[in-house]
Structure 1
Amino acid sequence: MCLIFAAFQTHPDYPLVVAANRDEFYARPTQALHRWTDNPEIYAGRDLQEGGTWMGLHQQGRFAAVTNYRSGAAATAPRSRGNLVKDLLNTPSQLEFIQSELAETAQEYGGFNTLSYDGKQLIYCSNRHSEHFQILAPGYYGLSNGLLNSDWPKISRGMPIFKEALQNGSLPAPPKLDRIWDLLADKLTAADEELPDTGISLEWEKLLSSRFIRSENYGTRASTIVLWKGDRTAAMIERNFGEEGYVGEESLLIRFHPD
């Protein structure tokens, strides 16, 4: 996952709304959003190379997602970030897992940011932040390949659109999905002087500065919207892309049950 917008307790009917893009090399084998056969309480896409995922839901009422923290050339790490998401989904207590097990193993992963939600608390965690984790207050959040709410153009320019899609004056209304899809599909790149310096070439910084990325070998593979309702149901809608463009759409409605 390379871009996440999240609205936490800002909508009267949807305590959590997430819009996200996953960017990856087209050659990396991937399975689209589905209910996992070997772990049937997980609903997510799957990275077939390492067996993990970039974002998913658990039927016991948990959400988790990860982004890479970009800092120069990627280094090999002993643990896969996608399996970190799987662990956050499977654990009965996300906060306890973050405070204990992940606190001990965080540096065994490449640079990461995670957002996790258990129906009550939204938690941000990173192995590149001075604070290992933060329990977030209600509000709007943007996350890419830097730290939470970094002032990157794809976040700062996208956030007003995301907020507008969730607001309708004084009347509660469902989020405007067409506006969210447009937000995720934007291919506009930033000007050179606006680009972050993450230790890669200017050419790659520019390519990666758009919300939707498209190149010969690398690009946005999935755009996903999660709508978590107050009645303990969630809709997860995923649009998939490959080298030739749009591939198809998957959608699931999950009814949560407690532990």
Structure 2
Amino acid sequence: MCLIVFAWRVIPGLPLVACANRDEYYDRPATPAGPWPDAPDIIAGRDLQGGGSWMGVTKTGPHGPKFAALTNIRAPDERRTDAPTRGALVADFLKGDLDASAYLDRIAGTAQAYNGFNLVLGDREGMYWFSNRAGADPRNSKPLEPGIYGVSNSLLDAPWPKVVRTKA
């Protein structure tokens, strides 16, 4: 199961420190993190089946460097085979000109078309968490305060053992 833990504006001189583990089917083709040939400003892994990514950064841009990371929400009973690939959300944000807040505004109306996901987006203005399964969680689509956060296959900071252990 996927895991992302990140420290946002906690360590002086390092606005973002992130670690992640992507658990995926072994037979799903992907490339490791590196510059994309068609978008060399992006450094990310690439899902060769869906064309998107699960985590990446840009080196520069109108909103400074950008960060994006994605996890799937574990809900086998809700899975739809006709849903668009979630990794496109990461790729589209990193390739695009929108800042994190504007990108979340753009996808809010279509997010329910996807199977469940968590999306962490950041730029020099802020870090955001968005989930299309968050319901009334007040943190959804809002700037995150400085802190250490974890997200796996449930909502932000859900007390799954791997999230709790990694944040400790």
Task: State the TM-score, normalized to the length of structure 2.
Answer: 0.89
Note if 1:134 corresponds to 2:142.
Answer: yes
**137-146 vs 37-46, which moves further:** 37-46
| Matching of residues 192-203 of structure 1 within 5 Å | none
- Report the CA distance between 1:91 and its aligned residue: 2.7
Q: Secondary structure in 2 aligned to 1:51?
A: coil
Distance across 1 between alignment mates of 2:143 and 2:75: 25
Q: Percent same amino acid at aligned positions?
A: 44
- Report the CA distance between 1:71 and its aligned residue: 1.2
Distance across 2 between alignment mates of 1:129 and 1:16: 24
Note if 1:38 corresponds to 2:46.
Answer: no
Note if 1:71 corresponds to 2:70.
Answer: no
The amino acid across from 1:138 in the alignment is P
CA displacement, residues 147-177 of structure 1 (integer Å, 9 cap, x when unaligned): 00001111112211xxxxxxxxxxxxxxxxx
Compare CA radii of gyration and give the structure with the larger one.
1
The amino acid across from 2:104 in the alignment is I
The residue that corresponds to 1:154 in the other structure is 162
Q: Secondary structure in 2 aligned to 1:49?
A: coil
Q: Say if 1:77 and 1:108, in contact at 8 Å, map to a contact too.
A: no
The residue that corresponds to 2:129 in the other structure is 124
RMSD: 1.4
Distance across 2 between alignment mates of 1:145 and 1:80: 16
Q: Secondary structure in 2 aligned to 1:150?
A: coil
Q: Say if 1:32 and 1:44, in contact at 8 Å, map to a contact too.
A: yes
Distance across 2 between alignment mates of 1:62 and 1:77: 29
Q: Say if 1:2 and 1:144, in contact at 8 Å, map to a contact too.
A: yes
Distance across 2 between alignment mates of 1:36 and 1:91: 14
Q: Say if 2:101 and 2:141, in contact at 8 Å, map to a contact too.
A: no
Distance across 1 between alignment mates of 2:36 and 2:45: 9
Distance across 1 between alignment mates of 2:152 and 2:142: 17
- Report the CA distance between 1:26 and its aligned residue: 0.6
- Report the CA distance between 1:97 and its aligned residue: 1.5
- Report the CA distance between 1:55 and its aligned residue: 0.2
- Report the CA distance between 1:41 and its aligned residue: 1.6
The number of residues matched between the two structures is: 159
CA displacement, residues 52-91 of structure 1 (integer Å, 9 cap, x when unaligned): 1000011221000000011124322431111100112123
Q: Say if 1:66 and 1:82, in contact at 8 Å, map to a contact too.
A: yes
Q: Structure 2 regions of 5+ residues with no counterpart?
A: none
Q: Say if 1:77 and 1:110, in contact at 8 Å, map to a contact too.
A: no
